[in-house]
Structure 1
């Protein structure tokens, strides 16, 4: 017997009724598929991976707006599992989330992380047959050191700086910076649990020197100094905890003031009493803000 082939729409529904049988009228909500990691590049002998969380619906040909997220790690080795569960509401709302692994300090310092982020986005754009990504609705996101990397990527997106391939990148719809450091030179100007100018600090480990030892080179590694009036920049969303002991709240405040002065589109939210990350940044209130920002900037 030849096995028949049916599409979902063609397959006949069973309409049987039975006493005592109950019926659930389910909504066609998004499911979530977590893809196996994909190697997007090998650099300096290190395999670099993408981890994709994708919406699943009955329409297999559908493409989704996509968030490329840089997981924070103090620029050390990332744990890509850190926020996978936290991203679930975004995926169920119809957004693909692709986590990007980068080369990490101290073996790999600036600008490796920025270059790797751009390489990863290009890889996905070159493999759209493998990823259900909508190339016209792309967002960058990052938390902590990942916020720094995402903002460096956004600020230099339309230039050839810190770009290993130097081929055109797709347009961005927006960027999200969650409690990222943007100007290491001013991190000690606000209360903090750390001395960010010390030789053992995360910033010094990433830069390869203490920030005050070479202010000009430090500026070259900070997104703040790449945003000018003529910089092409997508709309940005900044969120930072008011009691962040690791990256001072003033880092995002400083960036927001600069963005406004340069005439850029930006939204800034102080997350009341939040420390450096944590569950508060993935509660309903903050996720609603993030989803609203994403939805308003779809093409």
Structure 2
């Protein structure tokens, strides 16, 4: 094994361990509740709910974890739920069944089922921002822009008020690294990549605020996946935002929504605030 490859693997292992430490030790007093929406052990979501929050006025963050569709869980990303909880938002961390035991479209169906379950059991929720990291960005895009599945799962898309992608896999054909191509192949498997590719969901006018964040040094999921997605939005306006973080690798961008965040966290918090302000104007 070449030294460079070994260093990359070692770095990712260190970052994974750091994620676990953040999840289970940082903000230990903040507790989430695991709620099952299916029979499989992966079919659950972790809910961080503020007791005194007026959910009709503030967004609920529906966040989908990354992991290349083959690993990850809401528990591993609990630090994200805690971060948004501290910022004053109810947060749902959605889990889903994983590759290779389950392939496309299982992951998409699961996150739709999780959202449908949450809405059914929280009927007063009318303001949801759907967000995702890495592979979770692809699944989040499916929720927001796949109108046929919204109808299938009886989801009123008027309550979906915003879309946030953090280093998301938003255009499969712009993924240039060998490893990312393997991940996509294992996920889509025998399906047609064109049909699954989230950028192809943008086939008509988009009327929801969009924020895409990506690092320009991302060696796993090329920054051009986010650029291509934003370019495909036909009616670009001030509510369609692309933020490219200089010298940021794939795992760096998730730091914006963990612990105390970092200097780039304002991009996400400002976006959520603006979505809430737009909702107030609509009312």
- Give TM-score, length-normalised by structure 1: 0.73
**1:236 and 2:233 matched:** no
RMSD: 2.5
Aligned-pair distance for 1:90? 2.3
Q: Which residue of 1 aligns with 2:15?
A: none
Q: In structure 2, what is the Cα distance between the partners aligned to 1:169 and 1:151?
A: 16
Q: Which residue of 2 aligns with 1:273?
A: 247
Tell me if the contact between 2:97 and 2:106 (Cα under 8 Å) persists in the aligned partners.
Answer: yes
Higher helix proportion (structure 1 or 2)? 2
Q: In structure 2, what is the Cα distance between the partners aligned to 1:94 and 1:208?
A: 40
Q: In structure 2, what is the Cα distance between the partners aligned to 1:290 and 1:88?
A: 15
Q: How many residues align?
A: 242
**1:287 and 2:262 matched:** no
- Give TM-score, length-normalised by structure 2: 0.77
Report the 3-state secondary structure (helix = DSSP H, G, I; strand = E; otherwise coil) of the residue aligned with 2:211. Answer: strand
Q: Which residue of 1 aligns with 2:104?
A: 110
- Higher relative CO (Cα under 8 Å, sequence separation at least 6) belongs to 2
**1:202 and 2:180 matched:** no
Report the 3-state secondary structure (helix = DSSP H, G, I; strand = E; otherwise coil) of the residue aligned with 1:295. Answer: helix
> Of residues 47, 50, 53 in structure 1, which corresponds to 2:45?
50
Tell me if the contact between 2:30 and 2:82 (Cα under 8 Å) persists in the aligned partners.
Answer: no
**1:96 and 2:90 matched:** yes
Q: In structure 2, what is the Cα distance between the partners aligned to 1:32 and 1:286?
A: 25
Aligned-pair distance for 1:113? 1.5
Quickly say closer, same or farther: Cα 1:94–1:32, change in 2 above 3 A.
farther
Q: In structure 2, what is the Cα distance between the partners aligned to 1:143 and 1:168?
A: 22
Rg larger for: 1
Quickly say closer, same or farther: Cα 1:177–1:47, change in 2 above 3 A.
closer
Higher strand proportion (structure 1 or 2)? 1
Quickly say closer, same or farther: Cα 1:86–1:51, change in 2 above 3 A.
closer
Q: Which residue of 2 aligns with 1:34?
A: 31
Q: Which residue of 1 aligns with 2:8?
A: none
Quickly say closer, same or farther: Cα 1:196–1:94, change in 2 above 3 A.
closer
Q: Which residue of 2 aligns with 1:181?
A: 169
Report the 3-state secondary structure (helix = DSSP H, G, I; strand = E; otherwise coil) of the residue aligned with 1:160. Answer: helix
Aligned-pair distance for 1:83? 3.3
**5+ residue gaps in structure 2?**
1-27
Tell me if the contact between 1:119 and 1:165 (Cα under 8 Å) persists in the aligned partners.
Answer: no
* Superposed counterparts of 1:104-183, under 5 Å: 104-128=98-122, 135-156=125-146, 159-161=147-149, 165-170=152-157, 171-183=159-171
The one-character-per-residue Cα deviations of 1:183-234 (angstroms, maximum 9, x if unpaired) are 222312xxx4x3544xxx111110115xxxx8xx11101110110234x542
Report the 3-state secondary structure (helix = DSSP H, G, I; strand = E; otherwise coil) of the residue aligned with 1:297. Answer: helix
Aligned-pair distance for 1:87? 4.3
